[in-house]
A and B are shown apart, each in its own frame.
Chain A
Amino acid sequence: MEAERKKDAAAEEARQPHTRACEQELAMSWPKVGEAGETGDWRTVRPVLDTSKCLAAQRGKLACMQCWMFCPDAVITRTVPPGVNMTYCKGCGICVEVCPAGAITLEPEHEHEEEHGRDAHAAEEQGSADGDDQP
């Protein structure tokens, strides 16, 4: 949790000044994209789409969309061709496995970085729901 605290403190500084107008008397949360931060940082591999193989792209209309349907993080768009939000894609590789056309491959993140530079921050401690500090 120390890392979490440091991250919070850093985020807080970046956002200065915070208003102190919190009126909560019980704990309530509101929706936020990137609740756990930029989960793209968790990736060690990234999905790369070859549009020449994608069934939807080939047909030029909505088709297949298995990648969209199975992405556990809702970061793929149901578009032609499908797009991936790399800020939050965790690099699980499910889209690669479910693609019937073999249109998506996984590239090691470091190779990709060497070629294109990294868009997000350096990878930090990988957050996960599996741990001791849970309810």
Chain B
Amino acid sequence: MLRKNKGARTVTTNPDVHIITGNKAAAEAARLCRVQVIAAYPITPQSSVVENLAKYVDSGVLDAEFIAVESEHSAMSVLIGASMVGARVFTATSANGLAYMCEQIHWVAGSRLPIVMGCVNRALAAPWNVLNDQQDSMSMRDAGWIQIFCRNNQEILDTFIQAFKIAETTHLPVMVCYDGYILSHTVMPVEVPTQEAVDAFLPPYKPHTVLDPAAPRNINPVTLADPRPNADGVLCHGYMELRHLHHAALREAIDTIVAVDNEFGAAFGRSWGGLYWDYLRADAEVLLMAAGSLASEATAAVDALREAGVKAGVIGLRAYRPFPDDAVADAVAAAKVVVVFDKSLSYGYEGPICADLRAALHGRATSPAVHGYIGGLGGRDIKARELVAATCESIEWMKKNTGRKGTGWVNLQL
């Protein structure tokens, strides 16, 4: 996998490089960020994240409260309570665990709590399937969280550290998404920064809201449709104003994500592209676009396409929410076609990344065609050669047709 890590610089001679799984990288990041309360419930393929953290807490490596709750709903509830009084908190989950948390995912966002959670992407039941796709985090797209996808284990570790900074700057929760098994259970060399370096990058959490008997506030009470005056006659934002501010914060987070990634680059010598990363984009006529490890795989497909004389490149999406519409639209503007590979599906329409890209391009003077493919659901393998085949199919279609091409399915065996 490391071979495909083409957006980033890797150091292999450093003694701080460990050969670890994505889940271990996530746990290491949480330790380095000095999280104070962890609450989690096991689910494949997330389990070893929290098993590792439980070990750190038990052995005293990490000074935190580890709460082994009885469900994911409670895991997030515990984090809400702890974050509300000012603790830095962490959890991780997958698939049905995320779905079971759903009510609280929304509650966190509406409370503007800077909670950071790992989503180890896995297919949602029914039927049961413990393997990778991205339907779980995609189904939480509209909850008001920042969602960032990672392409390799180093990026997982680095992104979690960035995530706390982004969350605590924007007062928005961040979901760090990475592919189950493909990253969570695959070992790769990962440079683990020193505690001092992380401390210098990430100052202690300063909560924006503290529940304190000395200042008795009632947080998240019933709101009515319109703004209402408080006891001092100040007309306070209504539900809709608060939602608007929440949305505005997400839009502003587009800049924060870039800024924090740059700052991280200056501090640690690695940055990850901010909103998206690219590979051989400059002269590309055909761009392959995906999120997570599939985008890494796409770099191998591009190498093969280039060998066959196709001017191909990759756009790897990091930030999915907020959707970096302008940045991505600019990045693909010069291409003839963008072939988008989604590992999830908005049932009855098309892949969510594909749909969002189309919308981002709409109304621009010149914009490439967008072709969507669904692939990799429930762990179905997608190799570079299948990405090549789908891309060639798109190119052939363009020669014969105009207008909108329907969604294709990669390696569907009907």
Contacts and interface: CB of A to CB of B under 8 A. Distances in A.
Report whether chain A binds chain B. Answer: yes
Given A27-B219, A28-B219, A1 B224 contact: yes
Contacts of A26: 110-112, 209, 219-220, 242
B220 A25 contact: no
Contacts of A29: 217-219, 221, 230
B381 to A, nearest CB: 44
Nearest to A15: B233
Interface stretch (A16-24, A50-58, A89-97, A111-119): A16-24
B222 interface: yes
A19 B209 contact: no
B125 interface: no
Q: Which of B111, B218, B236, B239 has the most CB of A within 10 A?
A: B236
Interface string B88-131: 00000000000000000000001110000000000000000000
A30 B217 contact: yes
A31 B214 CA distance: 12
B222 A134 contact: yes
A32 B219 contact: no
Given A4-B224, A31-B231, A24 B208 contact: no
Contact of B231 (A1, A25, A30, A134): A30
Given A25-B208, A26-B219, A19 B233 contact: yes
B208 A18 contact: no
A19 B235 CA distance: 7
B266 interface: no
A4 to B, nearest CB: 6
B242 A25 contact: yes
B291 to A, nearest CB: 29
A43 to B, nearest CB: 24
A135 interface: yes
Contacts of A59: none
Interface of B: 110-112, 171, 208-209, 216-231, 233-237, 239, 241-242, 245-246, 249
